């Protein structure tokens, strides 16, 4: 029990014992069982891959997109270009079954993501290339010839 000091309306001090700041056992149990399960308890349920991080770099000849997606195979990816939008996606379904004399255990999971990028008009979408190596998906978006930066040159005065 705590000793709290209350100030009554007549400005005098009155010493009282009170537990009003602590919830009762029944209130505490109601609070615990009526709230959503914390993510720590639900972490065994696979809700999918989070969106992978992307680096985009512009060079003289192209835009380079790098996406960190370790643990996948190049066959897991689907790249599409439609109406000047590049979409990179993956869908993975995993199922495991372990049979024993006394039990059968099945585990399954599903993971997916999709990232879409609007391509600038300067990209030659017929020449897009993609490579996957050591967990990094690299997509090269070459620029059209007329959009490439020309190197600086000196003009002679006649």
Q: Find tokens 């996406």 and name the residue.
A: 67
Which DSSP string corresponds to 31-71? HHHHSPPPHHHHTTS---PPPPPEEEEE-SSEEEEEEE-TT
pLDDT band for 90, please (50, 70, 90 cuts).
Answer: very high
Angstrom distance (rounded) from CA 31 to CA 96: 37
With beta carbons less than 8 A apart as the criterion, state whether 60 and 148 touch.
yes
pTM of the model: 0.58
Q: Which helix (H) or strand (E) holds 132?
A: strand 129-133
Contacts of 155 (CB under 8 A, 6+ apart): none
Residue-wise pLDDT for 105-138, tens only, equals: 778 788 889 999 999 999 998 999 999 999 999 9
Q: Which helix (H) or strand (E) holds 27?
A: helix 25-34
Residue-wise pLDDT for 62-89, tens only, equals: 999 999 999 889 999 999 999 999 999 9
- Which residue in 26, 49, 37 sits closest to 109, CA to CA? 49
Both structure tokens of 71: 């643990």
The Cα-based distances of 71 to 38, 45, 66 in angstroms read 27, 19, 15
> In terms of CATH architecture, what is 54-147?
Sandwich (2.60)
Residue-wise pLDDT for 18-53, tens only, equals: 455 555 555 555 554 555 544 444 444 444 557 889
In the predicted model, what is the mean pLDDT of residues 149-157?
A: 83
- Which residue in 92, 111, 138 sits closest to 48, CA to CA? 111
Give the pLDDT confidence score for residue 108 in this predicted structure: 79
Both structure tokens of 44: 């065994």
In the chain, ranges of CATH 2.60.40.790 domains: 54-147
């Amino acid at each position: 029990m705590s000793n709290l000091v209350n100030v009554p309306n007549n400005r005098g001090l009155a010493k009282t014992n009170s537990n009003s700041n602590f919830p009762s056992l029944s209130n505490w149990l109601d609070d615990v069982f009526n709230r959503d399960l914390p993510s720590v308890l639900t972490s065994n349920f696979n809700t999918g891959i989070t969106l992978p991080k992307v680096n985009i770099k512009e060079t003289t000849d192209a835009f380079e997109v790098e996406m960190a997606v370790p643990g996948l195979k190049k066959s897991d990816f689907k790249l599409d270009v439609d109406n000047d939008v590049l979409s990179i996606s993956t869908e993975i379904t995993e199922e495991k079954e372990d049979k024993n004399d006394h039990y059968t255990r099945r585990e399954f999971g599903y993971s997916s993501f999709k990232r879409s990028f609007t391509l600038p008009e300067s990209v030659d979408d017929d020449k897009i290339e993609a490579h996957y190596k050591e967990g990094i998906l690299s997509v090269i978006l070459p620029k059209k010839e007329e959009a490439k930066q020309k190197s600086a040159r000196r003009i002679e005065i006649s």
